[in-house]
Amino acid sequence: MTDKQITELTIRRPDDWHLHLRDGAMLQAVLPETARHFGRAIIMPNLVPPVVTGDQATAYRNRIMAALPRDMTFTPLMTLYLTENTDPDDVAAAHAAGIATAVKLYPAGATTNSASGVTDFEKVRPVLDRMAKIGMPLCVHGEVTNHEIDIFDREAVFIDKILRPLRKKVPDLRIIMEHVTTQDAVDYVRDTPKNLGATITTHHLIINRNHILAGGIKPHFYCLPVAKREAHRVALVQAAISGDKRFFLGTDSAPHTDPLKLQACGCAGIFTAPNTMSCLAEVFEAASALPKLEAFASLNGPRFYGLEPNEATITLTKGDPVAYPSYVPTADGPVTVFDPGFDLHWSVTSN
């Protein structure tokens, strides 16, 4: 049977290994969109103020669980925001207690709410050394922030100038390169035999930089890292459908209200939580790789994090185009849902 003949696909319930839930009214509105399809998610800590300590992670996790609808099951996997003042003992204690699954590294100024991030990597070596010792993963926003570096080159430069030296100094540290966007990153992960994985977002599998800029600026396609050339998008698709255990789904679904997106200096982020599984099924079907979707969305991530895949399953069914809402309402304003630019014929019909 060819992929075009497949009209129903049952896979283990997927996980999202890179998710922004925000807080307050936004959290209340967007959490159900993820919990509807996903069993677990790595929760980003870049709130204001950021989630730096184990106690703060516990409090945030409690707010997430309080916002979860009673008829849904979902496990938030918390991360700690790495700063140059992070206490290695607190990190280790939070990990041992099951509070923090990973630590998140933002180079200072790299993206939304990253001002508290790292500028001097030697200052965080004690934390990284402790993490390597206890087997705690580091999630990395892999871009340099030097204004002299072209925004389309910042991922490749980060690999050469920051990541390669860091991995030589702390070779036992398990690292996830989040939201990779380039052939350079795909090749680097493929050439690395151990302790390195990478997440790929839904939107970077679909859009390139033309979608943002050609025919007028499209603010709802603006994200960081910014989408690159078509050749890079194709490289990401090939990595996602390859079955390679080092590549797995991290949506980087990042909700902002439309007033914050549609302004002179609009926020970076694309909200893909509601329709990610439909989008992925279309991408994998177009690449004649539907049987590989489960590995990418449901198996490779847990394996890298040392967790078991979800026991539950979801079923995707192909039919008439699915009508997703154009936005999700929140008390702070509407959040536009990612529009892939083509009809979505796959829907989650059971889970």
Catalytic residue positions?
Answer: 252
Structure tokens at 155: 């991922």
User: Which domains are assigned to the chain?
Assistant: 3-350 (3.20.20.140)
The first and second tokens of residue 56, run together, are 């703060």
Distance between CA atoms of residues 291 and 309, nearest Å: 17
Cα separation, 8 vs 128, whole angstroms: 44
pLDDT band for position 188 (cuts 50, 70, 90): very high
| Sequence-ordered strand ranges (E) for the chain | 8-12, 16-19, 40-43, 75-81, 100-105, 138-141, 175-178, 196-200, 247-249, 313-318, 327-328, 335-336, 346-350
Q: Which residue has the tokens 């790595």?
A: 42
Whether the per-residue pLDDT at 2 is higher than 70: the answer is no
Pick the closest to residue 50 from 78, 73, 25, 74 (CA basis): 78
Whether the predicted pLDDT of 1 surpasses 60: no
Once rounded to an integer, what is the mean pLDDT over residues 226-243? 98
Instruction: Kindly tell me if the per-residue pLDDT of 113 is higher than 80.
Output: no
Please check the confidence at residue 114 and state whether its pLDDT lies above 70.
Answer: no
User: Residue 126 pLDDT > 60, yes or no?
Assistant: yes
Q: What is each CA distance from 285 to 8, 240, 247, 277, 298, in whole angstroms?
A: 12, 12, 18, 12, 17
- The CA distance from 302 to 222, in Å, is 29
